Amino acid sequence: MKTSIFKTLAFAGTALVIGLSSCGNGGDKTTDANAANDADKQILGAGATFPYPLYSKMFSEYGKTSGIQTNYQSIGSGGGVKQIMNKTVDFGASDAFLSDADIAAMPAPVVEFPTCLGADVISYNLPGNPELKLTPEIIAGIFLRNITKWNDKKIAAENPGVSLPDMDISVAHRTDGSGTTFIFTDYLSKISDDWKTKIGAGKSVNWPEGELGGKGNEGVAGMIKQTPGTIGYIELAYAIQNNMSYAQVKNAAGNYIKPTIQSTSLCANGDIPADTRISITNSNVDQAYPISSFTWIILYKEQNYNNRSKDKATNLVKELWWMIHEGQAQTAPLNYAPLPPKAVTAAEAVLKSITFGGQPILQ
């Protein structure tokens, strides 16, 4: 219960601060106009933890030129969806697109669009740190515990020249509900019917018996580093920053692809539906790394709610527009994959559809 207590406390604290500050403004009428102006320049967002480093960098860069202050709280995708549902934030962020049930539960129509891409790499600890090549069948076999030895024939056949030890494979997965797990299980569900029927895709799933769970990327990475013979999936950015060895994966087009920012981006260079709700794992783009996904921002299509001013709505939409254009320059230095052109076009269309009092905000 710790988390929820802290959340409640944080809420109470924030409410108190907001309450106090509004009291302060109420007393001094001359500053009311300024206060309203200031309030329009403050944007509040909450949600996914995965893009948090990128978003905070983007918002700080954008703030320098525009004067907009954006407060993004990385409370998790579930929390982001809930907060936008309760209209307590200006935008929510989630590592998975909204389910039909979530959309039905929203009090008003929402739109969502991708801001960047992330990928999961398959990392392992083997003597000599060889660079392995893995097929979808091998990955599903290992994570379903059907392949239990490193010198299994199926692994050896794809990796000629690599000396594979006679060692048990121990499997580590993310135990905290996360977009990382969602991407990985979503991918496995697409490539393995066995996985789809037995386990399925989700942010937390019922893992096969005998697998270990680590908390966060650092927990899984710790397990991999500590124990030879361990394999697990972690975020690409985390693996790059911590010099972990990871495998090339055979994609849907039959090519072995090394996970990089470029090969991750390519995943989304296929056809994107108008509402951008698409799972792009196992992409059939020629040179795409298959275990990749978007992360989304969610906001209301009609911005005139809760007595919001038009200025505030405009500031918000302009900032989001900046994120999918100039802001994309921030992605690569932080090891996030930028949106490819087709995804940017789709996101532009979504932002243009946002209205204030029925009038489109962006002309």
Residue ranges that bind another protein, judged by CB under 8 A: 1-4, 49, 75-79, 81, 99, 101-102, 168, 170, 175-179, 199-207, 209-215, 218-219, 222-223, 226-227, 230
In eight-state DSSP terms, residue 19 is: H
Q: What is the smallest separation between the CB atom of 81 and another protein, expressed in angstroms? A: 7
Give the shortest CB-185-to-another protein separation in angstroms.
Answer: 8
What letter would DSSP give residue 99?
A: P
| CA distance linking residue 182 with residue 41, whole number of Å | 34
> Taking Cα atoms as reference points, which of 353, 362, 262 lies closest to residue 310?
362
d(CA 96, CA 188): 16
What number of other Cβ atoms are within 10 A of residue 342's Cβ? 13
Comparison of 136 and 219: residue with beta carbon closer to another protein:
219
Q: How far is the CB of 54 from another protein (least distance, A)?
A: 19
Of 63 and 213, the one with the shorter C-beta distance to another protein is 213
The distance of closest approach from Cβ of residue 363 to another protein in the complex, given in angstroms and rounded to an integer, is: 36
| Least distance in angstroms from the C-beta of 75 to another protein | 6
CB distance 257 to 263 below 8 Å: yes
Compare residues 84 and 346 and give the one whose CB is closer to another protein. Answer: 84
Which is nearer to another protein, 23 or 101 (by Cβ)?
Answer: 101
Alpha-carbon distance of 175 to 172, in angstroms, equals 9
Cβ proximity to another protein: between 94 and 265 the closer is 94
Whole-number Å distance between alpha carbons of 276 and 341: 13
Backbone angles phi, psi at 121, to 5 degrees: -110, 155
Q: Which of 65, 110, 108, 68 is nearest to 91 (CA)?
A: 110
Q: Using CA atoms of 79, 335, 337, 170 in order, give the dihedral in degrees to the nearest 10.
A: -70
Distance from the Cα of residue 212 to its chain's centroid:
23
Q: What is the largest CA-CA distance in the chain?
A: 78
Least Å from the CB of residue 352 to another protein: 29
Q: Which is nearer to another protein, 152 or 311 (by Cβ)?
A: 152
- Nearest approach, Cβ of 141 to another protein (angstroms)? 18
User: Which lies closer to another protein via its Cβ, residue 94 or residue 263?
Assistant: 94
| Number of neighbouring beta carbons within 10 Å of residue 198 | 13
Residue corresponding to tokens 């692994």: 155
Nearest residue (CB) to another protein, 33 versus 104: 104
Least distance (Å) between residue 343 CB and another protein: 24
Residue 50's nearest CA partner among 205, 174, 188 is 174
